[in-house]
Structure 1
């Protein structure tokens, strides 16, 4: 098990990623990025990854791979990725120590 300082996955996140990857056996893992959106500036993106981008950072933990887009690496440094399920929603969440503020709806953030 290799844990990367850029991103740590909770056991719930690892379980959900494994479940998702079973449905997409041709993919290598998930890719996290950030894009400009919302009232506070940035939002996370999450997609399947067919290959490692030239400058992507790879986080391997408990037999899952998560690729971090080069533009998101500094933003995600020290972040914990979790997966939660409630009666109203199920989603990946990012506990990011670099965030300076979020919008009221929680969709976007700034660092």
Structure 2
């Protein structure tokens, strides 16, 4: 199981972590939302639970609830700036479709 960060995403997460002080890492996951079913979440992880899997990417700890791993295994997280907008971008090999605005995605329920 892997989650990969681009250099830009890793730098942005390091910035978040440096400002937080006490965070255990960055929590990456999904939630049910949007017109396609799931949306990505990126937050500071206050702690690491017994059901969490921790990925280390060059010193950045990504904390992922094990129940979401089948949906996001192999995802690459990037951070992009376009004009006044900046956001994380996700390249998920498990996504079988996305909504028109790109805010949510679907996965094959049989997977």
Do they superpose with TM above 0.5?
yes
| Divergent runs of 4+, >6 A | none
Contact 1:56 1:70 in 2 (8 A): yes
**3-state DSSP of counterpart to 1:100:** strand
The two structures, once aligned, show a CA RMSD in angstroms of: 1.0
Contact 1:9 1:61 in 2 (8 A): yes
Contact 1:33 1:71 in 2 (8 A): no
1:13 is aligned to 2:9: yes
With the length of structure 2 as denominator, give the TM-score of the two structures: 0.91
Where structure 2 has 5 or more consecutive residues not aligned to the other structure, the ranges are none
Partner of 1:100: 96
With the length of structure 1 as denominator, give the TM-score of the two structures: 0.91
Partner of 2:50: 54
Where structure 1 has 5 or more consecutive residues not aligned to the other structure, the ranges are none
Residue 28 of structure 1 and its aligned partner are, at CA, apart by: 1.3
Higher strand share: 2
Partner of 1:109: 105
| 1:20-59 alignment, distance < 5 Å | 20-59=16-55
Count how many residue pairs are aligned between Structure 1 and Structure 2: 107
Q: Per-residue CA shift, 1:27-46, capped at 9, x if unaligned?
A: 01110111111100000111
**Residues of 2 paired with 1:61 and 1:35: CA distance?**
23
Partner of 2:60: 64
